Amino acid sequence: MRTLLEFEKPIAELEAKLEDMKKLAQDNNVDVSSAVRNLSKSIEQLRNETFDNLTRWQRVQLSRHPDRPYTLDYIELMCDEFHELHGDRGVRDDPAIIGGLANIGGLSVMVIGQQKGRKTKQRQHRNFGMANPEGYRKALRLMKMAEKFDIPVVTLIDTPGAFPGLEAEERGQGEAIARNIKEMMVLKVPVICVVIGEGASGGALGLGIGDRVLMLENSWYSVISPENCSTILWRSWDFKEQAAEALKLTAIDMKSFGLVDGIIPEPKGGAHLNFEEMAATLKKTILQEIKILSKMKADQRVDARIDKFCQMGVVNS
Amino acid sequence: MSWFQRTGKGIQTPTELKREAPDGLWHLCPECKQVMHTREHKQNAYTCIHCNYHDKIGSEAYFQVLFDDGAYKELDADMFSADPLEFVDTKAYPSRIKQTQEKTGLKDACRTAEGKINGINITISCMDFSFIGGSMGSVVGEKIARGMDNSLKKKIPFLMISKSGGARMMEAGYSLMQMAKTSAKIARLDQAKIPYISLLTDPTTGGVTASFAMLGDFNIAEPGSLIGFAGPRVIKETIGKELPKGFQTAEFILEHGFLDFIVDRKDLKDKLSSLLKILKK
């Protein structure tokens, strides 16, 4: 059963009507082809209208759609081979971040990403995609391995934030993220980061330093979630729509500010409507970018990466 | 007819002048509630002579405590915030900035200066918590980055004094990327073998902890400082339990291996210069 967001419902209702009509026609052997054509056309029209005019909050909702593809879905659809590698060699294996060696279209790649769960039990197991320090340290271990074997790194970002727990603090959540940011800056291999769903703050940035940082069309990336922003600035959760507008957190916003390098289009209606198409687009983009980046010398790439991030910010002086 | 008659004018001292001692002569410690002479408190680097409580102080006080003869050259003193997102919550961001500037006399939440500590040239960036909770937006990130550039250019050590609630919401994505920018510059300091000392003071949390504050060659802290990634309230809400006593204090962070040492503010200058002299060989 599909989960429907509020603004998906009118479209789904028309789709259901269309199905009914087709079934009725088949059962009674009547020709309704012109009515079917008309209805299909209005569905198409409504979909275009809805999805060409999404508010920022609606995109946030799409980024969290329970049916949206997660890191493991992309790995399964993009990779010819994937060998998951576990553990940070210090504390434990963090299921909220997965990583491993992959073969994508004949190319060896280290793929790392936050993983959310789909059912209640899985969600808990994955801690809703909120990593602990050992998750970031596992990611760094795998990136260093990729560097050793001269294999490009691809990170898939999808997190409501790094986990704000007691043990996370004891084990140095801040230090783990900070170290990843700095080490990713100087990683000698090509690094491509893609925000596939939620890109919340430091928890996202801990996997987010790359030669190319890309966002899926309906993902978001910002310093705080709209809900938390609303709670702090308006002192109530009720202003999340306004907070989303104020934060300007969509792919289009972030690209226009020059804070990310590109937007990857999603199938009409969102990535959840067509996993295969979305994964194919992502795969194609990743392979293209790796090809371009591989032509640069390692030191050049690192310099360009550092310089890119150093230029971010707007001040008056 | 009264027995006595006032020949001069009546007592006309306005209320605000009716004081037994001039303002600011005595300092009351907010921790142990004991009193000390303001001069004594200042000489003790704004720490309590009775209980060693470290008063929360701003950039100017730190510069006075650390730089020889309190002399320094401020860098990028006139830089101030833009409003790239045209951010409005209950107030428009530029008016919030302007009000805070008027209230604090500061341009933003960070100041950078070059000077000498015990004869050693050094760049210091210091955050001011009084400016929107010491939050990091583009100005803070850029000032720190340029401070590090100054150290790179002159091949002198860099000291960061953090005191911040984290990244500034009103610059959203830009604020987030200041974490990346400052960390990128630290990578440059690494390449150039420039010493980077990170002093964490009360409080240091959020995106500041998750970037430059934790990336020092030496991570050091003032005693009792609150240091963490998530704030105590958020953690309490997440786990639904009271937090253990002493959780997220500098002492706790030291015990868990994320600090090199804790240093009293009055010893900070000598400790820093000794350390830097050993590095120079």
Question: Torsion angle of alpha carbons B269, B52, B222, B206, nearest 10°?
Answer: -140
pLDDT in tens, A212-228: 999 999 999 999 999 99
Here the contacts of A87-94 (C-beta below 8 Å, separation 24 or greater) are A87/A138, A87/A141, A88/A134, A88/A135, A88/A137, A88/A138, A88/A141, A89/A137, A89/A141, A90/A134, A90/A137, A91/A133, A91/A134, A91/A137, A91/A171, A92/A134, A93/A134, A93/A138, A94/A127, A94/A131, A94/A132, A94/A134, A94/A135, A94/A138
Residue A315 lies in a domain: no
Each residue's pLDDT tens digit, B147-192: 999 999 999 999 999 999 999 999 999 999 999 999 999 999 999 9
Residue of B nearest to A251 (CA): B173
Subunit contact A182:B186, Cβ cutoff 8 A:
yes
CB–CB of B210 and A223 under 8 A? no
Domain tally, chain A: 2
Task: Give the sign of the dihedral formed by CA B183, CA B189, CA B191, CA B197.
Answer: negative
Q: Say if A216 falls within a structural domain.
A: yes
Task: Read off the CATH number of the domain in which A219 is found.
Answer: 3.90.226.10
Of the residues B169, B218, B219, B237, the best mutation for testing chain A's interface (the one with the most A CB atoms within 10 Å of its CB) is B169
The class that CATH gives domain B57-280 is alpha beta
The verdict on A15 and A90 lying in the same domain is: no
A151 and A108 within one domain:
yes
Dump pLDDT digits (tens) for B234-252. Answer: 999 888 889 999 999 999 9
Residues on chain A touching B247 (C-beta within 8 angstroms): 166, 169
Nearest CA in chain A to B234: A164
CB pairs under 8 A between A and B: 186
Instruction: Please indicate, yes or no, if residue A167 is contained in any of the structural domains.
Output: yes
- Smallest CA-to-CA distance from A96 within A153, A188, A160 is with A160
Containing structural domain, residue A239: 59-310
In a domain, A108, yes or no: yes
Q: Which of A53, A69, A87 is the last residue of a domain?
A: A53
Nearest-CB residue to B184 (from A185, A233, A242): A185
A173 in reach of chain B (CB within 8 A): yes
Contacts of A157 in chain B (CB under 8 A): none
Q: How confident is the model at residue B15 (pLDDT cuts 50, 70, 90)?
A: low
Given a cut of 80, whether residue B7 has pLDDT beyond it is no
**Average pLDDT, integer, range B248-274:** 98
Same domain, A27 and A87: no
| pTM recorded for the entire structure | 0.94
Given CB atoms, is B58 within the 8 Å cutoff of chain A? no
Domain residue limits, chain B: 22-55, 57-280
* Mutant choice from A140, A182, A219 vs B, greatest count of B C-beta within 10 A: A182
Q: What is the ipTM of this complex?
A: 0.95
Q: Does A254 touch chain B (CB under 8 A)?
A: yes
Does residue B260 belong to the interface with chain A, where contact is any CB pair within 8 Å? Answer: no
The tens digit of pLDDT for each residue in B29-79 reads: 999 999 999 999 999 999 999 999 999 999 999 999 999 999 999 999 999
- Residues in chain A with CB shorter than 8 Å from the CB of B101 are none
Asked if A266 and A152 sit in the same domain, the reply is yes
Residue A105 lies in a domain: yes
The C-alpha atoms of residue A56 and residue A226 are separated, in whole angstroms, by 10
Give the number of other Cβ atoms within 10 Å of residue B128's Cβ: 27
Tell whether A162 and A42 lie within a shared domain.
no
Q: Both A268 and A215 in a single domain?
A: yes
Q: What is the mean pLDDT of residues B121-137?
A: 97
pLDDT digits (tens, 9 = 90+) for A294-303: 999 999 999 9
Residues A41 and A169 in one domain: no
Looking at the fold, whether A28 and A157 belong to one and the same domain comes out as no
Query: Given a cut of 80, is residue B17 above it in pLDDT?
Result: no
Contact call for A177 and B229, based on CB within 8 A: yes
**Same domain, yes or no, for A168 and A126?**
yes
Q: Residue A316 domain-assigned?
A: no
A31 lies in the same domain as A136: no
